[in-house]
Chains A and B, each alone.
Chain A
Amino acid sequence: MPLYHNDDQAMLKDSVAPFVAEQAPVAHLRKLRDQADATGFSRDLWAQFVEMGLPGMLVPEEHGGLGMGHIEAGIVLEEIGRNLTPSPFLSTSVGAVAALAKAGGTQAARWLPAIAGGEAIVALAIDEGAKHRPDRIATTATRAGNGFRLDGKKSFVLHGHVADMSIVAARTDGGITLFAVPKDAKGLTADPRRLVDSSLASHVTLDGVEVDADAVIGEVDAGGDVLDALLAATRTGAAAEMVGVGQGAMDMTVTYLKERKQFGKLIGEFQALQHRAAHLYGEMEVARATVMKAQELLDQGSDGARLMVSVAKAKAGRAANLAVREGVQMHGGIGMTDEYDIGLYMKRDRALAEFMGDVHYHIDQVARMNGY
């Protein structure tokens, strides 16, 4: 398959891009933030996503979705990134769907149609400390009655306080097991914190939460594969969103270089800025290609996907970070103001960079996957 969008994908982009830009531009984020919105996203907007079939893009057709792939989901995520749109799309429609579709069974049948229909928001309760360390999960699931008892603490759980269900990764006797924990489960508390990018992420406490045996997503002790699918999809999705954030910041900055005058010239005439802008362009193009390659390999179910996903998260992380830093710098004083949008790009980039493994984590993963 060639590494550019085919006609169907280009059509999808042509319908999603104006939709997101019109319904949820940066002003939409600003409004939610200034109203101290307690949900973390707009339910009205999510209803519009549902009308367009977006939440179920990755949901297999037999579960009421569109059965599309990561390239298509990436198209939506890039627009979400470009417009800094607050949305549960990445957690719910990408991460959770990837896990449930991989696992199949009762929980897939229960939740996939609900996600596709826009009735369920799902949160991913994976991290436990300030850094992403999925190989060191300490939350425990012990057998109790005909089910399990969950104990532990989770952090950086986006939408955790409003999720209808949380996917909780826990340690069982013989390995890792994933559980679908419904929002009304006794002993489950979510304490939402406002993050730098105005999103809400929860510290989740599982204090003797009892779930039935069929709450297991996939098989007991064999959740590693399901977790891997969840992580691969979410990381790739976050990388696609970062490409959108970086591109949005870069476009804004290049436009500014053509408008702002100092020393009697447009600042875009200064070679010192031209070269940095051109360098940034190259980094963004490489990041975009890398993310697309990771999406392609994931869609093909290729063995090489794992490596490329880490490469994509790291590369998109570097490129988007450069874009927002250069963005603020090249705007001069106005780039430092809350009123101007470029700073919001810098904030969202920071949060996405940390989500599901930062640049350093993924560079280290690439070394490990190459045997050093």
Chain B
Amino acid sequence: MSDLDAFRAEVRAWLEANCPPEMREPIRDEDDVCWGGRKWVFKNEAQKQWLEACVSKGYTVPDWPKAYGGAGLTAEQTKVLKQEMKRINARSPLDSFGIWMLGPALLQFGTEEQKVHYLNQIARGEIRWCQGYSEPGSGSDLVSLQTFGEDKGDHWVVNGSKIWTSYADKADWIFCLVRTDKANKYQGITFMLFDMESKGVTTKPILLISGNSPFCETFFDDVEVPKTQFVGELNRGWDVAKYLLGHEREMISGGGAGGDMVSIGALFAKSLGRNDHGELDDPILRAEMAAFDVDVFAYRAMGERFMDMWKTGRAHPASSNMMKYVGTELNKRRHELVMSGGGSDALEWDSPETKGGARPRGWLRTKANSIEGGTSEVMLNVIAKRILDLPGA
């Protein structure tokens, strides 16, 4: 038995013993996803147990070093762990912007002290982060941001506002891009970290077309941030910001794979019925779903190859932009088909039978996939410039 096979056997046994049956059920509601943080209320005992079990093994962040709360697994071991979790449909024990975005940035740019402090908190699900990048005047052209931090010796006084800040009202801390040098566009931004309970921080939820309100306007009114709370170098936050975006894009691209939905055609053949040949009884929709399934199976292979290469430093550094573009466009197509397959039932907005309009709300939410974390058009610009090396891009 190879080392990897031995590891697989060990993981399998551990999961069998530690993953509660309730945590092997598909995600049904939003609070089935555990985000952690100071304000988190566990949905049930199983969710808590599962998180604690994973925390004790370092499995919330399996490929982070042990000193920072991870399990120190290699890329191949991490892949095995994911495969084994998928095999039993185990839910993710903890999802958070800390894991997907800030963590990787701290691993790359943080001081040893910051790593030990923040990464362990993130790994244990004790802190929930939000992302303060976009501003009303600075979306795709992020580097034009205006939120300003005035130097007061041992601290900054931050004024300005952010917008589209996902979960700002639920988050404990924010990682925030703040201009600290007005004369220097790219090298005048500092990547700050501060508590959302700091004096002068307010949030105002914004309602999405889905009828839900996961993001906010965020205002900073003379917020004091100690000058120890920044990542990377002073005025060089843009480097950190871009690196983090690579990870954010990689994370968002994961939606393209479709989670539990193995084959959309197989799913809807059950509800729409079959003809005498056993085929989904709507030939044009069947054809569209089959063509979509091909793209999804293909994208899963792409996801595997991308992760294998990304985790071992073989991927083009800009390739997460391609993954995000392809994955989000695919997910939007998926939800168009889900709506078509659902017919008029999928139009119901709040009936209990439709779990409060889960399908139309989900469909509308996916439209943000190709906007959040950088739009599809921006992804294509980046691919053209950094990968294809096209002129003037």
Residue in A265, A271, A277, A286 with the greatest tally of chain B CB atoms within 10 Å: A286
Decide if B299 touches A286 in the complex (CB within 8 Å).
Answer: yes
Decide if B298 touches A281 in the complex (CB within 8 Å).
Answer: no
Decide if B293 touches A366 in the complex (CB within 8 Å).
Answer: yes
CA distance A3 to B304 in the complex (A): 7
CA distance A274 to B299 in the complex (A): 22
If A274-B381, A372-B280 touch, whether A268 touches B302 (CB-CB below 8 Å) is no
Binary contact track A284-310/B, C-beta < 8 Å → 1, others 0: 011111101100000000000001101
If A315-B294, A372-B269 touch, whether A292 touches B305 (CB-CB below 8 Å) is yes
CB-CB contacts below 8 Å: B277-317 with A = 278-280, 286-287, 289-291, 293-295, 297-299, 301-302, 304-306, 308-309, 312, 314
CA distance A285 to B387 in the complex (A): 12
Residue in A3, A275, A282, A293 with the greatest tally of chain B CB atoms within 10 Å: A282
Q: Is A311 an interface residue (CB 8 A)?
A: yes
Decide if B322 touches A366 in the complex (CB within 8 Å).
Answer: no
Decide if A282 touches B384 in the complex (CB within 8 Å).
Answer: no
CA distance A3 to B298 in the complex (A): 13
Decide if A265 touches B392 in the complex (CB within 8 Å).
Answer: yes
B314 partner residues in chain A, CB cutoff 8 A: 4
Closest to A365 in B: B290
CA distance A7 to B71 in the complex (A): 28
CA distance A289 to B266 in the complex (A): 24
Q: List 15 A-B contacts (CB under 8 A).
A: A268-B392, A271-B381, A278-B384, A282-B325, A282-B383, A289-B301, A289-B302, A292-B305, A362-B294, A367-B290, A367-B293, A370-B262, A370-B265, A372-B266, A372-B268
Q: Is A254 an interface residue (CB 8 A)?
A: yes
A3's partner among B289, B294, B305, B319 (CB-CB below 8 A) is B305
A269 partner residues in chain B, CB cutoff 8 A: 390-393
CA distance A265 to B79 in the complex (A): 46
Q: A2-B75, A278-B387 are in contact. List 16 more A-B contacts (CB 8 A).
A: A3-B305, A258-B390, A274-B384, A274-B388, A274-B393, A278-B325, A278-B381, A282-B325, A282-B326, A282-B383, A285-B322, A289-B306, A314-B294, A366-B297, A372-B269, A372-B279
Closest to B377 in A: A275
Q: Is B76 an interface residue (CB 8 A)?
A: yes
Closest to B308 in A: A2
Binary contact track A1-28/B, C-beta < 8 Å → 1, others 0: 0111000000000000000000000000
B319 partner residues in chain A, CB cutoff 8 A: 285
Q: How far is the CB of A64 from chain B (nearest CB, A)?
A: 30
If A266-B391, A269-B391, A372-B269 touch, whether A366 touches B383 (CB-CB below 8 Å) is no
CB-CB contacts below 8 Å: B156-174 with A = none
CB-CB contacts below 8 Å: A253-286 with B = 254, 257-258, 265-266, 268-269, 271, 274-275, 277-279, 281-283, 285-286
Decide if A278 touches B306 in the complex (CB within 8 Å).
Answer: no
Decide if A367 touches B387 in the complex (CB within 8 Å).
Answer: no
CA distance A287 to B294 in the complex (A): 11
A290 partner residues in chain B, CB cutoff 8 A: 297-298, 301-302
| 9 smallest beta-carbon distances between A and B, as pairs | A293-B301, A372-B269, A269-B392, A278-B383, A274-B384, A367-B290, A3-B305, A289-B305, A2-B308
A372 partner residues in chain B, CB cutoff 8 A: 263, 265-266, 268-269, 274, 278-280, 286, 289-290
Decide if B384 touches A277 in the complex (CB within 8 Å).
Answer: yes
CA distance A258 to B289 in the complex (A): 38
Q: Is A66 an interface residue (CB 8 A)?
A: no
Decide if B383 touches A363 in the complex (CB within 8 Å).
Answer: no
Q: Is A145 an interface residue (CB 8 A)?
A: no
Q: Is B9 an interface residue (CB 8 A)?
A: no
Q: Is B380 an interface residue (CB 8 A)?
A: yes
A257 partner residues in chain B, CB cutoff 8 A: 390-391
Q: How far is the CB of B252 from chain A (nearest CB, A)?
A: 15
Decide if A311 touches B390 in the complex (CB within 8 Å).
Answer: no
Closest to B315 in A: A4
Decide if A366 touches B294 in the complex (CB within 8 Å).
Answer: yes
Decide if A363 touches B287 in the complex (CB within 8 Å).
Answer: yes
Decide if B297 touches A307 in the complex (CB within 8 Å).
Answer: yes
Decide if A367 touches B393 in the complex (CB within 8 Å).
Answer: no
Closest to A363 in B: B290
Where the two chains meet, the residues of B that have a C-beta atom closer than 8 Å to any C-beta of A are 75-76, 79, 262-263, 265-266, 268-269, 274, 278-280, 286-287, 289-291, 293-295, 297-299, 301-302, 304-306, 308-309, 312, 314, 319, 322, 325-326, 377, 379-381, 383-384, 387-393
A314 partner residues in chain B, CB cutoff 8 A: 294
Decide if B297 touches A281 in the complex (CB within 8 Å).
Answer: no
Decide if B391 touches A285 in the complex (CB within 8 Å).
Answer: no
Q: Is A174 an interface residue (CB 8 A)?
A: no
Decide if A281 touches B390 in the complex (CB within 8 Å).
Answer: no
B263 partner residues in chain A, CB cutoff 8 A: 370-372
Q: Is A51 an interface residue (CB 8 A)?
A: no
A292 partner residues in chain B, CB cutoff 8 A: 301, 305
CA distance A307 to B290 in the complex (A): 12
A278 partner residues in chain B, CB cutoff 8 A: 322, 325, 379-381, 383-384, 387-388
Q: How far is the CB of B308 from chain A (nearest CB, A)?
A: 4
CA distance A285 to B319 in the complex (A): 10
B304 partner residues in chain A, CB cutoff 8 A: 3, 289, 293
A315's partner among B274, B298, B306, B312 (CB-CB below 8 A) is B298
Decide if A286 touches B384 in the complex (CB within 8 Å).
Answer: no
Decide if B298 touches A289 in the complex (CB within 8 Å).
Answer: yes
A3 partner residues in chain B, CB cutoff 8 A: 301, 304-305, 308-309
If A282-B325, A372-B269 touch, whether A363 touches B291 (CB-CB below 8 Å) is yes
Q: How far is the CB of B205 from chain A (nearest CB, A)?
A: 34
Closest to B75 in A: A2
Q: How far is the CB of A179 from chain B (nearest CB, A)?
A: 31
Decide if B286 touches A367 in the complex (CB within 8 Å).
Answer: yes
If A265-B392, A266-B392, A371-B269 touch, whether A4 touches B301 (CB-CB below 8 Å) is no
Q: Is A173 an interface residue (CB 8 A)?
A: no
Q: How far is the CB of A271 from chain B (nearest CB, A)?
A: 8
CA distance A265 to B287 in the complex (A): 42
Q: Is A61 an interface residue (CB 8 A)?
A: no
Q: How far is the CB of B232 from chain A (nearest CB, A)?
A: 29
Decide if B286 touches A277 in the complex (CB within 8 Å).
Answer: no
Q: Is A364 an interface residue (CB 8 A)?
A: yes
CA distance A286 to B296 in the complex (A): 10
Closest to A279 in B: B380
A274 partner residues in chain B, CB cutoff 8 A: 380-381, 384, 388, 390, 393
Decide if B265 touches A268 in the complex (CB within 8 Å).
Answer: no
Decide if B298 touches A275 in the complex (CB within 8 Å).
Answer: no
Decide if B295 touches A315 in the complex (CB within 8 Å).
Answer: yes
CA distance A293 to B75 in the complex (A): 18
Decide if A268 touches B290 in the complex (CB within 8 Å).
Answer: no
CA distance A254 to B384 in the complex (A): 10
